[in-house]
Structure 1
Amino acid sequence: MSTPTIFSRLIAGELPCAKVYEDDQTFAFMDAGQVNPGHVLVALKRPAPTILDVTEEEAAALFRTVHKVAHAVQAAFSPEGITLLQANKPAGWQTVPHIHVHVVPRYANDGADLVWPRSNPPMEELKALATRIVVG
């Protein structure tokens, strides 16, 4: 059996956290590293590492809770925007191998930044790339 993640330990009540919401499949709690006040993490209770390891039903449950939490954060903090971030694997910026979504209230010039190199390939290249992606 693999070592429980910090999220598994929070969900199990082994470590303290500031819980925001819980249902049979999901658990939402304040991120200890607040980007802005109201930064919440929404995790599946089942300790699947990434989006590639969950069922379609689990993904739907996760994002139903994200939707509820985003509305609650908007009502509580009146941010100018909300960023949702779901990262997978270390190269995809994931730091805890337990699927979760960040719900981050955002404000103009709040210092939070998301930067990646952007290319603008021609439409023919985009169409060629699209043919490689088979959605089942």
Structure 2
Amino acid sequence: MEPKDEIGFLVENDYVVGKAMDSSFLAKREEKACENLDCVFCRIVSGIDESAIVYSDDKVISILDKYPVAKGHCLVMLRRHRSTLNDMMPDEAKVLFEAVHLVARANIRAMKAEGFNIGMNNGKAAGQTVKHVHVHVIPRFENDIFWCTRRPQNIPSGSLKSAEELQVLAELIRGEVQRSRGIRLAKL
């Protein structure tokens, strides 16, 4: 009997474990098998490597991170191999982030977290270590310590920008958005 698509977090001894799905089930679900078997996430999607699965459908899969920075740290990824966000089609991005939304909401309830971080590293310079697009969903708790939380007193000097500098950067990025979408955006 095949398991149903459902999201479920089960907490045992302060660790989160996902519903187990056998490899034949995952292999049958894959529309187009991941062909990059050098990729650890493709190996998980294809059912070759095991992982603690917290959500799965025909387009995306979410697993627990084997090297979590917090209890309940999940990864949400496309089943189809795409290296970065830039390699994805708009419909793939939509599906991915709908799953991120679902997993984040379930995670915050299951972990009884007070918040969460969403993170995505795209490219070597950004710290991406697995070249298969994925999003980190990290539950957060009051007074926890995590590298991406910046308090105003901890921001390095020189990193704060003036309003004028921010406007110049915003205009530069808006120009690229215009070119990407092929439309004129109103000057703000």
TM (norm. structure 2) is 0.67
Would you say the 8 A contact 2:76–2:134 is kept in 1? yes
Would you say the 8 A contact 2:36–2:81 is kept in 1? no
Query: How much does 1:71 deviate?
Result: 1.0
| Equivalent in 54, 76, 82 of residue 20 of structure 1 | 54
Query: How much does 1:103 deviate?
Result: 0.6
1:42 counterpart = 2:82 = no
CA–CA distance in structure 2, aligned partners of residues 71 and 4 of structure 1:
32
CA–CA distance in structure 2, aligned partners of residues 19 and 126 of structure 1:
41
1:122 counterpart = 2:162 = yes
| Equivalent in 108, 119, 134 of residue 85 of structure 1 | 119
Question: Gapped runs of 5+ residues in structure 1?
Answer: none
Paired positions, count:
136
What RMSD, in angstroms, separates the aligned Cα atoms of the two structures?
1.8
SS in 2 for 1:132: helix
Residue identity opposite 2:95 in structure 1: A
- Residue 36 to residue 121, structure 1, CA distance change in 2 (3 Å): closer
CA–CA distance in structure 2, aligned partners of residues 112 and 122 of structure 1:
27
**Per-residue CA distance 1:9-44 (angstroms, 9 max, x = gap):** 011110111111111210101111122221110001
Query: What is the aligned-residue identity percentage?
Result: 39
SS in 2 for 1:8: helix
Q: How does 1:56-135 map to 2 (within 5 A)?
A: 56-114=90-148, 117=156, 119-133=159-173, 134-135=176-177
Higher-RCO chain (CA-CA 8 Å, sequence separation at least 6) = 1
- Residue 43 to residue 70, structure 1, CA distance change in 2 (3 Å): same
- Runs of 4+ in structure 1 displaced over 6 angstroms? none
TM (norm. structure 1) is 0.90
Residue identity opposite 2:62 in structure 1: A
- Residue 31 to residue 132, structure 1, CA distance change in 2 (3 Å): same
